[in-house]
Amino acid sequence: MTVESPTTSDHSNRQLLPIVKGLLAVIGLFIAGFGCLLGLLIALSLMLTSEAAVVDSSTAGLAIVALSVGLGGALAWQAGRSLFQKPSARFWLPPVGLFILVFVAAVAAGQALISFELWPIVTFPPFHVVAATLPPLVILAFVGRALRSGDFRWREVIVQLAGGAFLSISLALILEIITGLIILALVVVVMALLPGGLDSLEAMVVNLQNPVWLENPENITQLLGFPPVWVTLAVVFIILAPLIEELGKIIGVVAMSYRRPTLPQAFLWGIAAGAGLGLMENLFNTITNLEIWALVILMRLGATLMHCLATGLLAMSWQRYLTERRIFRLLGAYGRSVAIHAVWNGIVVAMAGSAVFAAGSVTELTQMLGGGAAVLLLSLLGLFFMGMIVALVAITRRLRAQITPSPSLVESTAE
């Protein structure tokens, strides 16, 4: 087996880089253009309907345009400038406190517009986009400002954000759907072999074919409690999603390893990749039940932090692997990131299941037990969130101590 020397490898990278940069610029432009077109189609469709669901549609439409034009356009801009060897500005964001104040104001105003029905089809979507975007920016601002003595650039952050938002979530969604359908089929087969299972399956199929049955919220609760459904959801969210998404989020960091990142730099890249996926979920996973939108968007703070921390830790382990070549240590780090993700998802699924159980209960005792379990799990989720904050602060402080400030930070044109 022939092993390339560092010089040969570097030469190959230099030949390939212009092609990759041009491709990224084209992809960014495509995302921005496609998002604008899709947003326009949604706007036209809203003019033809007067149903209450148009608030969801208008919110999704603006979210698509904001994400595709904002992040897709930024990717195209940075890739294009890099292709022509233009420098990238140093990564910098305003103070965390400012973002938090704007976030609180956006959440309060957005929920008020929904609750008091103040023409939400037009007024609510901008507040949703702002509130969904700020949690990733809060985390990026904290880490970026804490490590500001390092020479980090907007270009690398934008690439990682886009990778997390577009590439990793696309791959994860495809794999999760495929594996989820396989699990659903297996559970259905097992249930059909059990006594009375086939009759239950046939009854549920009949119900699902009845549009009136689906419109009843109590029946939706029954559907979520149906064994093939809840088993599939539990396996996908607690096991498969962490395994798949943690691999997907690290792709951008691995792809940029040719730049030989430092440990703080790799951590920031991982944080940005996790922030990208968190941003996508914040924009689109929070508009299915607008009556409790504020509560859901607040919980997204913890979910976004979970994505950022898990990927940041794995990115640091990848950087160590590049220098130490200890595969088992890297696999252990992957397992740790998956565990963080799985614990968070597991608590959320258990909390949602308890709430569904309480809502579908017919006795006061079972309602109290289900509601109490949901409150207890919410408290546990809060403690886990606080633990992740402590971990993020501790890791960032340790990394800051490892940075040797450069007397003069000169922008590189060889990116």
Tokens encoding 3: 């092993």
Q: Report how far residue 123's alpha carbon sits from residue 270's, in angstroms, rounded to the nearest whole number.
A: 34
Average pLDDT over residues 389-404: 92
**Most confident of the following: 220-229, 355-364, 390-399:** 390-399
* Residue 375: pLDDT over 80: yes
What angle do helix axes 241-249 and 293-324 make, rounded to 10 degrees? 60
How much is the mean pLDDT over the chain?
Answer: 87
CA distance 103 to 98: 9
Q: Give the separation between CA 329 and CA 42, rounded to whole angstroms.
A: 48
Distance (Å, whole) CA 35 – CA 26: 14
The answer on pLDDT for 52 being more than 60 is no
Distance of CA 193 to the CA centre of its chain: 38
Residue range 202-218, pLDDT digits in tens: 888 888 888 777 777 67
Give the residue extent of every domain in the chain: 17-87, 165-401
Does the structure show a pLDDT above 60 at 11? Answer: no
* Helix-, strand-, coil-residue percentages of the chain, each rounded to 5: 85, 0, 15
pLDDT tier for residue 4 given thresholds of 50, 70 and 90: very low
d(CA 60, CA 58): 5
Instruction: Decide if 263 contacts 320 (C-beta within 8 A).
Output: yes
- What's the confidence (pLDDT) of residue 48? 64
pLDDT at 6: 46
Mean pLDDT of 282-300: 89
Query: Does residue 149 sit in helix, strand or coil?
Result: coil
Statement: residue 153 has pLDDT above 50: yes
Cα separation, 271 vs 261, whole angstroms = 14
Instruction: Please determine, for residue 77, whether its predicted confidence score (pLDDT) is greater than 70.
Output: yes
User: pTM for the complete prediction?
Assistant: 0.89
Residues 126, 293: Cα–Cα separation, whole Å: 14
- Which band of pLDDT confidence, cut at 50, 70 and 90, is reported for residue 18? confident
Residue pair 75/86 in contact by the 8 Å Cβ criterion = no
Mean pLDDT of 49-65: 79
What pLDDT is attached to residue 407? Answer: 52
> Which residue would you say has higher pLDDT here, 10 or 342?
342
Q: How far apart are CA 401 and CA 147, in angstroms?
A: 9
User: Tell me: the pLDDT tens digits for 109-123?
Assistant: 999 999 998 888 889
Kindly tell me if the per-residue pLDDT of 282 is higher than 90. Answer: yes
| Cα–Cα dist 21/139, whole Å | 27
pLDDT at 205: 84
b/e burial code for range 51-88 (CB count within 10 A of at least 16 → b): eeebbbbbbbbbbbbbbbbbbbbbbbbbbbbbbeeeeb
Could you give the CA distance from residue 42 to residue 295 in angstroms, rounded to a whole number?
26
Run of H or E including 276: helix 263-284
Predicted local confidence at residue 16, as pLDDT: 77
With a cut of 90, say whether residue 131 has pLDDT above it: yes
What pLDDT shows up at residue 121?
A: 87
**Which tokens belong to 316?**
């640091």
Type of residue at 217: P
Asked if pLDDT for residue 71 goes beyond 90, the answer is yes
Query: Which regions of 308-413 does DSSP assign to beta strands (E)?
Result: none
Taking only the tens place, the pLDDT of each residue in 305-355 is 999 999 999 999 999 999 888 899 999 999 999 999 999 999 999 998 887
Reading the block at residue 358, the tokens are 């309480």
Confidence tier at 223 by pLDDT (50, 70, 90): confident
